[in-house]
């Protein structure tokens, strides 16, 4: 391949990259409409709650999901299955989740998930299977989530993601018999609402 051909190939690749990036639409997440519902199980049942999204976006190409990220405000984690009429156990659990032996929100106030790959779901073409880097405390690991869109265009994305992670892999644990009563898997149901400004 001569110099002119090499330059032509480089120019074509450059133009395709620029055109692809130009066609991508970045839709900011609505932090008021988007939220994360968490479920943690134990030998005697489960607890459920919510945690707020601080910021994030969804990247769309040709009206299809192509990427995105979300930053979670770990200081907002609350439990919703304990009634407000029983404030002491509710507050005790929430304080425990925020404490240094669990999510340590004073030292690590934010968690993050960044999509690195989007592909069709192998068993359901109406869904996506996404891979991404999940960062909790001081650990980042590659995890997989399933996303079901209900609305997707270059102006708006509405959908729901299901993501499970092993808390032990992120250092979310404490020693002793109590830790053995709490299962390692944490389930996240992420309600996604994003639209152009």
Q: Which residues pair with 32 in a beta bridge?
A: none
Q: How far apart are CA 79 and CA 19, in angstroms?
A: 46
Give the model confidence (pLDDT) of 20-63 as tens digits. 455 789 999 999 999 999 998 877 778 899 999 999 999 999 99
Q: Where are the domains of the chain?
A: 25-195
Q: How far apart are CA 52 and CA 30, in angstroms?
A: 11
pLDDT interval class at 7 (50, 70, 90): low
CB 68 within 8 A of CB 113: no
Fold type of domain 25-195: Lipocalin (2.40.128)
**pTM greater than 0.85:** no
Give the model confidence (pLDDT) of 88-145 as tens digits. 888 888 998 999 888 999 999 999 999 999 999 999 989 999 999 999 999 999 999 9
**42: CB partners within 8 A, 6+ apart:** 181, 182, 183
């Amino acid at each position: 391949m001569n110099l002119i051909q090499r330059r032509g190939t480089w120019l074509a690749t450059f133009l395709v990259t620029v055109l692809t990036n130009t066609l991508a639409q970045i839709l900011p997440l609505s932090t008021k409409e988007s939220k994360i519902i968490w479920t943690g199980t134990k030998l005697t049942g489960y607890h459920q709650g919510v945690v707020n999204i601080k910021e994030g976006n969804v990247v769309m190409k040709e009206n299809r999901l192509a990427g995105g990220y979300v930053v979670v405000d770990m200081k907002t984690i609350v439990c919703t299955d304990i009634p407000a009429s029983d404030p002491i156990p509710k507050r005790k659990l929430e304080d425990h989740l925020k404490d240094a032996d669990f999510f340590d929100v004073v030292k690590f106030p934010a968690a993050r998930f960044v999509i690195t790959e989007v592909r069709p779901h192998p068993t359901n073409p109406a869904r996506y299977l996404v891979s991404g880097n999940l960062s909790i405390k001081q650990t980042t690991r590659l995890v997989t989530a399933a996303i079901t869109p209900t609305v997707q265009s270059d102006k708006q994305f509405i959908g729901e993601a299901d993501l499970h992670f092993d808390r032990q892999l992120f250092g979310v644990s404490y020693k002793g018999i109590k830790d053995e009563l709490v299962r390692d898997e944490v389930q996240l149901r992420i309600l996604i609402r994003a639209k152009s400004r």
